[in-house]
Amino acid sequence: MPEITVTLVDHTNSPQLMPLIQKHLADIFSDLLTSSSETPLVNIRSIAMTPKAGDQDLVLHFVDNIANSYVAANMPGPPITPVDGGVTRPGPKMTGSEFYKFPTDKNGKSLGQFRAIGYAKLAAHEAMHNVTRLSNEKLHPQGGVGASPPQLPVNDANRKAFQAGLGNIPAQLL
């Protein structure tokens, strides 16, 4: 049975929003893990503190904006482009993923606050980068949650890529 345990770390102080994102994200992950022969098991929790190592397969950080990037603060790398709704940064020892409460356009202007389903799609997109280790150039043409911006429904290319990466999820930025 395909199974994943996901921890959402809330750096935005959004306790009312997190359960809604969690519900939509669980639905998206269930779809990503669905196969003709097995029923998936998705465990998602949201916390406001750093999780313990080994408690989960995948960690997704929810931060206010790029200026408050948890990934950039903890993993050196190139600047995050303003048009990103999230970022996944692979490193030699771990991979860090985050998505933004207030994403911006290419000029750095806030796009405002999204609905929970919008955040779930951003989180699922970053999870796709994290689990599959695919670059923008390889993931975005898949469409579905792999597209930029991410879209529903999940498609077969998304399922195939995500399921192929499940057995080799990198160590996570906690």
What would the two tokens of residue 126 be? Answer: 């970053």
**What residue ranges of the chain have pLDDT lower than 50?**
none
Report the pLDDT value the prediction gives residue 171, as an integer from 0 to 100: 93
d(CA 103, CA 121): 13
Q: For the chain, which domains are there?
A: 3-168 (3.40.390)
Model pLDDT, residue 27: 96
pLDDT at position 88 is: 97
Helix (H, G, I), strand (E, B) or coil at 122: helix
How far, in whole angstroms, is CA 64 from its chain's centroid?
15
φ and ψ at residue 119, rounded to 5 degrees: -65, -40
25-71 residue pLDDT tens: 999 999 999 876 777 888 888 888 888 877 778 999 999 999 999 99
The reported pLDDT for the residue numbered 146 is: 97
Q: What is the pLDDT of residue 174?
A: 93
